[in-house]
Amino acid sequence: MIRLVAIDIDGTLLDSRGRVPAANIEAIDQAVARGVKVVIATGRSFHFALQALGQLPDSITLIVHNGAIARSRAGETLLRRLLPQATALEVLGATVAWRDAATAVFDRPLAGQLVYDLMDWSHPNRRRFKERNHQIIQAVARLEDAMVEDPVQIAFNGCVDEMRAIAAHLAAHAIAPDLEVLLTEYPSRDFSMVDVCAAGITKGTGLAEVAALFGVAQGEVMAIGDNHNDLGMLRWAGTGVIMGNAEPELFQDGFYVTGSNDKAGLAQAIERFILHSSA
């Protein structure tokens, strides 16, 4: 019996137009009515994730920054694991060649959550993000000087090949044991993100801690996602479900495949594993 469902946002909860299909809202409402805990697990920040929730129930819990932080929708902090300042500085030193794609992300109320020095915001995906989140973005002279506290992560975004190069470079670097390097890709847009967190931080470890807080066993958890950064939670959950639009590599793990995000595949999965099985 599924008692907790963890749901990715982009490509899973949202359709390709960035909207939550009505069928997804209805299925989530029915799951909540049956006592199922609903957790949104995303690489987005808390502020950015809230923008996607719309009509979803207030009881939802959010795991954000790829597992580094978990909060109630009202803002109560349940989990917080940051990247040590010294490690963040080492990451910046190791990735100077990609500084125009780099940001530092902090756990702050609004202003200064995301800081940058040389980021080029002309890329269409970056430009849209900045327009929607301008109140949290702050320019600084040097990212190194902004390390006045532990950040949540050092993050990069840009074309797919460039982000793969960063991920590979960090994986081969001497500081690799201290890091969790999480990759999210959208090849159709030639856009990708690399989130560099402290070692051991993934959606999977975040989900495990949140499930324990709720007294839910691993076998009672279902996770639904579509991208590389979802693999941790998909593999940890008792039931892992991938979207029909998932990245090709995810189809190799034997997860159950539901419909695409444009066909409300999330709702289909909730109906199959929660609503029908517990009716």
Q: What is the pLDDT of residue 279?
A: 41
Q: How far apart are CA 180 and CA 144, in angstroms?
A: 20
Q: How many domains does the chain have?
A: 2
Residue ending a domain, choose from 198, 221, 248 = 198
- CA 157 to mean position of chain CA atoms: 14
Domain that holds residue 72: 4-80+202-275
Judged by DSSP in three states, 177 sits in helix
Q: Residue 231 corresponds to which amino acid?
A: L
3-class SS shares of the chain: helix, strand, coil, % to 5: 45, 25, 35
Strands 191-198 and 153-158 turn out to be antiparallel
Alpha helices in the chain (DSSP H): 22-33, 46-53, 85-94, 124-133, 160-171, 203-213, 231-236, 265-270
Q: Are residues 116 and 216 in the same domain?
A: no
Backbone dihedral angles phi then psi of residue 264, each to the nearest 5 degrees: 55, 45
Residue ending a domain, choose from 167, 198, 229 = 198
Residue recorded with tokens 């923008």: 51
Phi-psi region of 157 (alpha: psi -120 to 50; beta: other; left: phi over 0): beta
Q: Are residues 169 and 226 in the same domain?
A: no
Q: Are residues 39 and 171 in the same domain?
A: no
- CA 279 to mean position of chain CA atoms: 31
Per-residue pLDDT of the chain (279 residues; tens, 9 = 90+): 999 999 999 999 999 999 999 999 999 999 999 999 999 999 999 999 999 999 999 999 999 999 999 999 999 999 999 999 999 999 999 999 999 999 999 999 989 999 999 998 988 889 999 999 999 999 999 999 999 999 999 999 999 999 999 999 999 999 999 999 999 999 988 999 999 999 999 999 999 999 999 999 999 999 999 999 999 999 999 999 999 999 999 999 999 999 999 999 999 999 999 998 744
Q: Are residues 94 and 190 in the same domain?
A: yes
Number of neighbours of residue 191 by Cβ within 10 angstroms: 18
pTM: 0.94
54: exposed, middle or buried (Cβ count in 10 Å: 0-12, 13-18, 19+): exposed
Q: What is the pLDDT of residue 242?
A: 98
Q: What is the pLDDT of residue 219?
A: 98
CB within 8 A of 261, min separation 6: which ones? 11, 12, 13, 14, 15, 16, 21, 226, 243, 244, 245
User: CATH no. for residue 49?
Assistant: 3.40.50.1000
Q: Are residues 40 and 97 in the same domain?
A: no
230, 6 Cβ separation under 8 angstroms: no
